[in-house]
A and B are shown apart, each in its own frame.
Chain A
Amino acid sequence: MNSFLTDVFIPALGIGALYGLVGISFNLIFAPAGTFNFAQGQIVMLGGLLALSFYQQNGWPVLLALVAVMAIGAAVALAEERIAVWPALRRDPHGIGWVLSTLAVFTIIQNLAILQWGTTPQNVKSFPALSVSRHDVFGLQVAPYHFGVLLIAIAITVALYLFARRSAIGRATAAVAQDRDAAALRGVNVRLVISLGFVMGGALACLTGMLAAPLTLATVNVGLTFTFRGFTAAALGGMGDNTGALTAGLALGLMEQLTLRYWQGGYVNLVILLALLGLLLVRPEGLFGQAVPRRV
């Protein structure tokens, strides 16, 4: 029982929290813009690689590295919105233009990263207080990392909830998500809100990538995995629902750890895809979502 707790359940919390954070970063973009960012996993990946450069190799203090990584993530996502998403979205909000243009950004970031960092995975040392090596905590041999990441994820979810309810910009974002024209009629600058969604989504994605780096290693190969898990968390939780995404992310983490323990690592994606397909067919709105996403 103890080994289940320490080897399966607690790691699942930390890893699941990471997936939940990526899912939330998808939501931050999806809610105002109505688009799914196919390049999001690549921005997560960028966070890990930048952490490698700033924190591991250049020895920046962790907070400085964090701020720099998040700023770059925000800038990349903002550039993506301005150059790739908005022109396609303005031409045809229901077309596949933005699917293709975010795929283009996916390709561009991926290959730029390969040119810059190469394809060899590299180790990133643990952040202070988030050690990935096991310590004795309350009599259990576990890594503090998993608890730390979970706490960070919960804090971010709560902060975003308060932001959406208590701040004008947050309310405006929720308004744009529901009815763009009606929001504009109340003085909301829709374009700005969409840009802000990308800025926040990019920053959070990069933050998650940096958080994940000590666990996953810094490598160009993690991008697609994070897109996979993050989307699954967001879709299972109900697109746009942050609490749902975090909960679903934790469930995914557990699913992954269970598959690793009782079956084989190579089948994790298969298990998750089947679970996702099954749930979407029964409940297209996700586990916690309200409105059924309409066919467009």
Chain B
Amino acid sequence: MAATARRLESQFRLPMTAIPVLVPALPSVESAPFEAVEAFRKGLDVRIGAQLTSGSELLRALDLRRSEQVLPTALPSLDALLDGGLPRGKVIEIAGRGARLSVVIAALAAATSTGEAAALIDTGDAFDPQLGEAAGIDLRRLLWVRPRKLREAAAAAELVIATGFQLVAVDAGLPPLRGRVPDAAWVRLARAAEAHGTALLVSAPYPLTGTTSEAMLRAEPSRGQWRGPLLTGVDLALRLEKHRRKRPGGCARVQFRVAEAT
């Protein structure tokens, strides 16, 4: 095989200019490639061989890259706090009395605008489609599920994650929450999210997901901003209370404006 490759190389003068790469910055593939591809690669110039990728390697590399990717929320300060956005395959929780729903809608808008299908499990039935569209959500790609109880919300989230939605946002609504989800259900949800590469964003008035979440953000309550007699917006401070891979304590400040003021 190597000899054949060398013969081929001698017969066809390969250009020395940069070879276009379909998928830039592919991560290394752990498992050994097929022997034939490996042998062919050895027979080639090192630089050219490094660019040679078999179909199975490519698919595995894409899967790996996809699992390591994040879904940006398009809120720069929050994305910076979360190292790029909501990590795929992980649970991120926002708890507190701040403007949680606005963060959820921003994340849904960012995901659907890139062509991803997303789901909003809206336990409090609080979503306004008109304002959602104004916020940038591509409503055609949004599945709106309106359970009445938290237990139904968890069951619905599990179904939706298993279908392959890349962003699933569960909004638990306002206190008092209707019903309770056992801890085991959050473990199941976290495992399902990991298995399907789904970013699961949970928004609740107080922490629900326990140890299953990758990160927990505290949404601090704040006063409204008024210009004269008109409400113009609300400032939100999101404090990182827990993160599995970095030190907590960071804070992201986001300013949300009412639709009429933008």
User: Real complex partners, A and B?
Assistant: no
Residues of B in contact with A (beta carbons under 8 Å apart) = none
Residues of A in contact with B (beta carbons under 8 Å apart) = none
